[in-house]
Amino acid sequence: MAESTLFTGASRYAADFQGLIERAVGIASLPLKQLQSVRTSLQDQSSALEQLQRSFESLRSALDGLKNITGTGGYTTAVSNGAVLSASVGAGAMSGVWSVEVTSLGAWTSTLSKDGLPRVSDPATQSITSATSLTLRVNGEAKQITPASATLTALVEAINEAGLDVEASIVNVGTTSAPDYRLAVRSTKLAAVTIELEDEAGALLDTLALGSPATYKVNGMSQAIESDSRTVTLAPGLTITLLGTSEPGVPTTVTVSRSTSALSNALSAFVTAYNSAVDALDAHRGKAGGALAGQSIVRTLTDALRELARYDRGAGPLSTLTDLGLTFDDKGKLSLDATALQNAAAGGWQQLTEFLGSGSREGFLGWGSQVLEAVLNSDSGSLSLASKSLRDEISAQDRRIEEEQERVDRMREELVARINAADAMIAALEQQALYITNLFESMRIAQRMYSG
C-alpha cells in the first residue's frame, strides 16, 4: 500500500496512535482482502481450465493419430535387401508385393575447370576468369550468367542460380599448403549431359565423365527401365531409392501391407489420452474437488467424453468401440482388449476403415472430430468460451482491486494526516505543561532558598 504521508509520532501517545492507524487500515482493507481472495480463486480456475485444455488437445492429437492410420500411417513396408534399395509410402499407396532388380545406379556427368586457367588459392577473392558475363550451356540450352563479383565463390553461386539442370561446387586439387581450387560442375540428372561454360576467351570446362541413367527391372520383366534419378515411383504412393546394384538375377522384394500393430499403438494412445481427460475432470468433483468443483464446464466436458464414447455406426460387423476392442469400466475408464482387436482386424482392413472413417465427417473419426471441435474450437468451443469468460472476470476483478486499493490508500493518508496533526498538538501541549511545571518547580526552589 502506498504511504505518501508517514506518521511521525512526536507525543507520548505515538505508539497508541500507530496502533490505531493500523487497526483502522486493517478494518478498511477487509473488502480488499476479499477481492484478492476472489481473484486468486478465479486464477486457480483459469489454470485448471488450461490443464483441461491440454488434456482435450492431447485427446484430439490421439484422434489425429488414428486418422493417420487410415491413410499412409496404416501401411508398413518391408525390403528384403536394404543394401540395394529403400522404400517409403505416401498418399495413394496400396498393399502389394514387388520385385526389383537394380542393374545400374547410373552416373552424373561431371566436369572440372581446365588446366592453364588462373590458379585460385582463395575462392573468396580470386577466380578462374575475369569475365563479368559468361555463357552456360547445358544440352544446348544456353544462359548468360553474371557473377556478383570476380571470385570463384560468386561464379559458383551464379551457376547454381541459373535454373539449368546442373550444380556447381569448388574442389581443391592441390595440397593444403598450396591449394589449387577448381570449378566443378555436375549434372543433377543421371544422364549423358553436355555441360559447357565459356567466357570471351573460350571454354572453361573439361568433361571428366559422361553420365548414364539408372536402370532396374520390375517383377521379372526382361527389359530394364531407365531413370534419370535414383529415387523412382514404383507404384502409386510407393517410392523407392536405389542404393546399390543387385546380384545378377537376384531381385529385391518390396512388400507393402496394412499394419495391425500400428492400429493397436494408435488405439492405445487414444485410450491413454481419453483416460487422462477423465482423470483431469474427476479431480474437480466431490468435497475435495479442485478449483472447478461445481462449475458447469466440468459437466459439459464430461458429456463430451460420453458423447465421444457412445458412437454407434449402426450397421456392419463393427458398429461400436466395443466391437473394436475398447471397453469401459465402472469409472468410465477405457481399456483395449488386444484379442478383440485382432478379431476385428481378422475381418479385413476395409471394415476397420469403414468403421473409423476418413476423419472429416464419416465414421468414428468424423464423429470424434465434431465432438472435440465443439470443445476446442478457438472461437466457439466450450473450453475457449469458459476461458474467455474467466479472463474477463479476472480483468474486472483486477480493476475492482485497484479501485479498492486506492480507496484504502486515500483513507490511510487522510487518517495519518489527521493523527499527525493531533499528535503534534498534544506534543506542543506536553511541552507547555513541562515548561509550566519546570517554572513552578524553579519558583519553589527559589522560595526555599530565600526563606532559609
Helix and strand numbers (H, E) in the chain are 9, 18
Q: What percent of the chain has pLDDT over 90?
A: 60
| Most confident among 2-11, 17-26, 114-123, 441-450 (mean pLDDT) | 114-123
Residues 271 and 171 grouped into a single domain = no
- Could you tell me where the beta strands, DSSP code E, fall in 149-194? 166-172, 181-187
Give the pLDDT band (50/70/90) at residue 113.
very high
Confidence (pLDDT) at 5? 52
Query: Would you say residue 2 has pLDDT above 50?
Result: no
Residue 197's pLDDT is 97
Identify the pLDDT of residue 106. 97
What confidence category does residue 452 fall into, taking pLDDT thresholds of 50, 70 and 90?
A: low
- The pLDDT score that the predictor gives to residue 360 is 61
Mean pLDDT of 261-269: 90
pLDDT of 1 reads: 43
Which residue among 369, 386, 403 closes a domain?
A: 386
Number of residues that this document lists for the chain: 452
Q: What does the pLDDT read at residue 163?
A: 94
In a domain, 64, yes or no: yes
Residues 94, 142: one domain?
Answer: no
Q: Is the pTM higher than 0.85? A: no
- My answer on whether 377 and 324 are in the same domain is yes
Q: Is the pLDDT of residue 89 over 50?
A: yes
Return d(Cα 187, Cα 111) in angstroms, integer. 9
Q: Which parts of 164-316 fold into alpha helices (H)?
A: 260-282, 296-309
pLDDT higher than threshold 70 for residue 11: no
Averaged pLDDT for residues 312-320: 86
| Residue 394 to residue 42: CA distance in whole angstroms | 6
Q: Are residues 126 and 241 in the same domain?
A: no
**Most distant CA pair in the chain, distance:** 152
What's the rounded Cα separation, in Å, for the pair 321 and 323?
A: 5
Average pLDDT over residues 372-378: 93
Residue 188 has pLDDT above 60, yes or no: yes
Indicate whether 172 and 142 sit together in one domain. yes
H-assigned helices in 182-326: 260-282, 296-309
Residue 428 counted as domain residue: no
The pLDDT value given to residue 416: 81
Q: Provide the pLDDT confidence category of residue 146 given band limits of 50, 70 and 90.
A: very high
- pLDDT of 78 strictly over 60: yes
Q: Is the pLDDT of residue 393 over 60?
A: yes
Is 167 a residue whose pLDDT tops 80? yes
The pLDDT score that the predictor gives to residue 204 is: 97
- Residue-averaged pLDDT of the chain: 90
Judge if 281 and 231 occupy the same domain.
no
Long-range residue pairs from 384-388, CB within 8 A, at least 24 positions apart, any chain: 386/49, 386/295, 386/297, 387/46, 387/49, 387/50, 387/53
Top pLDDT among 404 and 215 is at 215
pLDDT band at 142 (very low <50, low <70, confident <90, very high): very high
101: containing domain:
82-106+213-245
Q: State the total domains in the chain.
A: 3
| 8 A C-beta contact, residue 189 and residue 108 | yes
Within this chain, do residues 226 and 357 fall inside the same structural domain, yes or no? no
**Does some domain include residue 182?**
yes
Is residue 327 situated within a structural domain?
yes
Tell me which of 355, 386, 417 is where a domain ends. Answer: 386
pLDDT at 6: 58
pLDDT the model gives residue 152: 97
Same domain as 181, residue 64? no
**pLDDT tier, 82 (very low <50, low <70, confident <90, very high otherwise):** very high
* Dist CA 50 CA 44 (whole Å): 10
% of residues, the chain, pLDDT over 70: 96
If asked whether residues 94 and 238 sit together in one domain, one would say yes
Does residue 97 sit in the same domain as residue 223? yes
> Quick one: 170 and 232 in the same domain?
no
Residue among 202, 181, 206 nearest 113 (CA):
206
- The answer to the question of residue 201 being in a domain is yes
Question: How far is the C-alpha of 193 from the C-alpha of 165, rounded, in Å?
Answer: 9
223 and 123 inside one domain = no
